[in-house]
Structure 1
Amino acid sequence: MIKPQHHAVVVIGAGIAGTAIANALLEQGQAVCVVDAAAGPATVCSSHAHAIAHPHIGRGSPRLLRLTRIAFLLAEAQWGASWNQHGIFQPSKKDKSFDRVEVAAYLQALELDESIAIALEAKDAEQICGIKQNGVWLPRGASMSLSGASKKLLEAQSGLSTCWDQEITKLEQSNGHWLLLNKENHAVLCADKVVIAAGAHTKSLIDSLKVRLPLRPVRGQLSIFSVAENSSWAQELPSVGISGDGYCLPAQVLDDGRCTWMVGSSYDEGEDDLLPRQSSDQFNREQARSLLNFAQGNLADLQSHGSFVGIRCVAGDRLPIIGPLSQRPGIFIASAFGSRGVLWSALSAKLITAQVLDDAALLARLGLTADLLAALDPARFLAGAAPSALGALASNSKPIFPSGPRAK
Structure 2
Amino acid sequence: MIPNPVTLPTDTDLAPHWRERDSFVLLDSDFGSGEHFFATWQAWRDDPHRSRQLHYLALLPQLATLHDLEKAAEKFLEWQTLYAELCAAWPPAVPGFHRIFLQHEQLVMTLMIGDGAACLRQIVAKVDAFRMLGRNWQTWPVAALSTLGKLAVQHASLDIRGLETAARKQLQQAGFVFENDADNGSDSDTELNISRACFAPRFVPRLAPHFTAWSTAAIVHGDRRAIVIGAGLAGSAACQRLVQRGWSVDLIESHTAPAQQASGNSAGIFMPLLSRDDNPASRLSRSAYLFALQVWRRLGGIGTAFTGAACGVLQIARDAGHADGQQQLAEFWRYPADYAQWLDQAAASRLAGHPVSAGGWYFPAGGWVQPRSLCQAMLDGCGNRLQTHFGQRAALLEREQDGWLIRDQHGTEIASAPVVILANACDARHFTQAEELPLSAIRGQITYIEAGQVPAIAPVLCGEAYLTPAYEGMCSAGASYDEDMQETLRQDSQDDNLARLANILPGWQAGALPLAGRVGFRCVARDRLPLIGALPDKTGACAVREPKLKDLARFPGLYSLLGYASRGLIWAPLAAELLVSQLNGEPLPIEADLAAALDPARFLLKKQRLSKLPHQ
CA distance in 1, matches of 2:439, 2:581: 24
Post-superposition offset of 1:78: 1.6
Pair 1:218 & 2:473 matched: no
Is the contact between residue 281 and residue 304 of structure 1 (CA under 8 Å) also seen in structure 2? no
Q: Cα distance 1:93–1:210, how it changes in 2: closer, same or farther (>3 A)?
A: closer
Shift of 1:299: 3.8
3-state SS of paired residue (2:559): strand
Deviation at 1:267, TM superposition (A): 0.8
Q: 1:33 to 1:282 in 2, by over 3 A?
A: same
Task: Mark the structure with the bigger radius of gyration.
Answer: 2
Cα shift readout 1:16-59 (whole Å, capped 9, x = no counterpart): 11011111110111111111112222222222231110001258
Show the 5 A alignment for 1:3-402. 8-57=225-274, 62-79=279-296, 80-81=301-302, 82=306, 83-96=308-321, 98-99=323-324, 102-108=328-334, 112-130=335-353, 131-132=355-356, 133-155=358-380, 157-205=383-431, 208-209=432-433, 211-226=435-450, 236-251=455-470, 254=473, 260-269=474-483, 271-292=484-505, 294=506, 297-301=508-512, 303-304=513-514, 306-326=516-536, 327-359=554-586, 361=587, 363=588, 366=589, 368-385=590-607
Alpha-carbon distance in structure 1 between the residues aligned to 2:517 and 2:528: 25
Q: Distance in 1 between matches of 2:460 and 2:577?
A: 27
Task: For 2:574, give the aligned amino acid.
Answer: L
CA distance in 2 between counterparts of 1:329 and 1:223 reads 43
Unaligned 5+ segments in structure 1 are: 1-5, 255-259, 389-408
Instruction: Say if 1:35 and 1:166, in contact at 8 Å, map to a contact too.
Output: yes
**CA distance, structure 1, for counterparts of residue 502 and residue 248 of structure 2:** 50
- Residue 90 of structure 1 contacts residue 137 of structure 1 at CA under 8 Å; is this kept in 2? yes
Tell me the CA shift for residue 300 of structure 1.
2.2
CA distance in 1, matches of 2:578, 2:289: 14
Distance 1:70 1:228, change over 3 A: closer
**Conserved? CA contact 1:116–1:140, under 8 Å:** yes
Please give the secondary structure, in 1, of the residue aligned with 2:384. Answer: coil
Q: Mind listing any 5+ residue stretches in structure 2 that lack a counterpart?
A: 1-222, 537-553, 611-616
- Going from structure 1 to structure 2, the CA distance change for 1:286 and 1:37 (only over 3 Å counts) comes to same
| Paired AA for residue 449 in structure 2 | F
Give the Cα separation in 2 of the matches to 1:204 and 1:338.
19
Distance 1:287 1:47, change over 3 A: same
In structure 2, relative to structure 1, the CA distance for the partners of 1:104 and 1:386 (3 Å cut) is: farther
Amino acid at match of 2:559: F
What displacement does 1:386 show? Answer: 8.3
Asked if the contact 1:172–1:209 (Cα under 8 Å) also holds between the matched residues in 2, the reply is: no
The Cα of 1:143 is off from its aligned counterpart by 0.6
Deviation track 1:272-323 (CA, whole Å, cap 9, x = no partner) reads 322111111111111111222x2x543425x126201111210011111111
Change (3 A) 1:333 1:219: same
Deviation at 1:203, TM superposition (A): 1.9
Q: 1:51 to 1:122 in 2, by over 3 A?
A: same
Q: 1:181: Cα distance to partner?
A: 2.0
Cα 1:61–1:181 change in 2 (3 A) is farther
Q: Deviations over 1:122-148 (max 9, x none)?
A: 122223343543111111111111111
Query: What is the alpha-carbon distance in structure 1 between the residues aligned to residue 472 and residue 410 of structure 2?
Result: 50
Separation (CA, whole Å) in 1 of partners of 2:609 and 2:529 = 14
In 1: Cα distance, 2:604 partner to 2:527 partner: 13
Q: Verify the 8 A CA contact 1:107 1:113 in the aligned structure 2.
A: no
Using structure 1 for the length normalisation, give the TM-score.
0.81
Inter-partner Cα distance in structure 2 for 1:198 and 1:349: 14
Contact 1:55 1:72 in 2 (8 A): yes
Relative to structure 1, is the Cα distance of residues 26 and 7 closer, same or farther in structure 2, using a 3 angstrom cutoff? closer
SS in 2 for 1:102: helix
What letter matches 1:114 in structure 2? Answer: A
Question: 1:277–1:74: structure 2 CA closer, same or farther, 3 Å change rule?
Answer: same
- For 2:500 and 2:389, how far apart are their aligned partners in 1? 41
Residue 392 of structure 1 aligns with which residue? Answer: none
Which letter maps to 1:247?
Y
Q: CA shift at 1:387, angstroms?
A: 9.3
Q: Relative contact order: is structure 1 or structure 2 higher (C-alpha 8 Å, sep ≥ 6)?
A: 1
**Change in CA separation of 1:305 and 1:210 when aligned onto 2, cut-off 3 Å:** closer
Task: Say whether the 8 Å CA contact 2:352–2:461 is kept in structure 1.
Answer: no
Is the CA contact 2:404–2:418 (under 8 Å) kept in the aligned structure 1? yes
For residues 149 and 52 of structure 1, the distance between their equivalents in structure 2, rounded to whole angstroms, comes to 13
Are 2:351 and 2:458, in contact at CA under 8 Å, matched by a contact in 1?
A: no
TM-score, normalization by structure 2: 0.55
